[in-house]
Homo-oligomer: A and B are copies of this chain.
Amino acid sequence: MEKPDGKYPIHDLLRNRWSPVAFSERLVSHEDLRALLEAARWAPSCYGDQPWVFIVATKDQPDVFDRLLRCLMDANIAWAQYAPVLMMTVARRHFTHNGQPNRYAWHDIGLAVGGMLVQATHLGLSVHQMAGFDPIKARETFAIPEDHEPVSVIAIGYHGDVGNLSEALQARETTPRSRHPLGKFVFSDTWGQVAPFIE
């Protein structure tokens, strides 16, 4: 997989991260799972509320894994079934300290997963986040209470061979990563005015 070009160098733990669809059958150790969740744990959050829950399913527990897998859309099941770990992220919708709605709950899930991504890359693991799942089925399957919302499902494992995958997925796996240029989204002074330090 092509890496981001080096015009503005970034740390290898960020540069080497990408979201594959081909996972190896190799299991993730419990030690590494703990490190992934510990990385999420130390993320910052609004009011320090830590509005995140992770429901984790590993192939050690085939029944739990299958129940989580079945919450996904078919297009995701097609490849995510081969990952050794699936995690559902769940956001607490109200602040613990005052019961008010927490507009930052999803944002803070993103921060926590952002930390997990770095730890995963450091451990040689690949991560692929999905929005394509059925939140109602997820709530029923795992008895998620009303004041919490399922946010994403994350596949985690070692990058593997594309051999199990359809041609379309194989093609996706080799598509170069691309992003908007900085000048499109880094402004200063006023909206649309590119920041002066962007060359």
In the complex, the chain B residue whose C-beta lies closest to that of A6 is B38
Which of B64, B115, B182 interacts with A114 by CB under 8 Å? B115
Contact in complex: B129, A44 (CB < 8 Å): yes
> Is A97 an interface position by the 8 A CB rule?
no
> Is A79 an interface position by the 8 A CB rule?
no
How distant is the Cα of A8 from the Cα of B30 in the complex, in angstroms?
11
Residues from chain B with Cβ under 8 Å of A190 in the complex? 142-143
Contact in complex: B30, A11 (CB < 8 Å): no
How distant is the Cα of A198 from the Cα of B187 in the complex, in angstroms?
44
How distant is the Cα of A180 from the Cα of B195 in the complex, in angstroms?
39
Residues from chain B with Cβ under 8 Å of A60 in the complex? 196
Contact in complex: B11, A122 (CB < 8 Å): yes
Which of B7, B33, B196 interacts with A197 by CB under 8 Å? B33
How distant is the Cα of A13 from the Cα of B115 in the complex, in angstroms?
9
| With contact pairs A55-B188, A104-B131, A152-B107 given, residues A35 and B10 touching in the complex (Cβ less than 8 Å) | yes
Contact pattern, A 28-57, Cβ under 8 Å of B = 1, otherwise 0: 001001110111011110110010111111
User: A residues engaging B (CB < 8 A)?
Assistant: 4, 7-11, 13-15, 17, 19, 30, 33-35, 37-39, 41-44, 46-47, 50, 52-58, 60-61, 64, 103-104, 106-115, 117-119, 122, 129, 131, 142-145, 151-152, 177, 179-180, 182, 185-192, 195-199
Interchain residue pairs with CB less than 8 A apart (14): A11-B118, A13-B13, A14-B118, A15-B42, A37-B186, A37-B198, A43-B114, A44-B117, A50-B185, A55-B188, A57-B188, A61-B196, A110-B111, A112-B114
Given pairs A11-B119, A53-B187, A104-B152, 10 additional interface contacts (CB within 8 A)? A8-B37, A10-B35, A14-B119, A34-B198, A41-B185, A53-B185, A57-B188, A64-B189, A114-B115, A145-B191
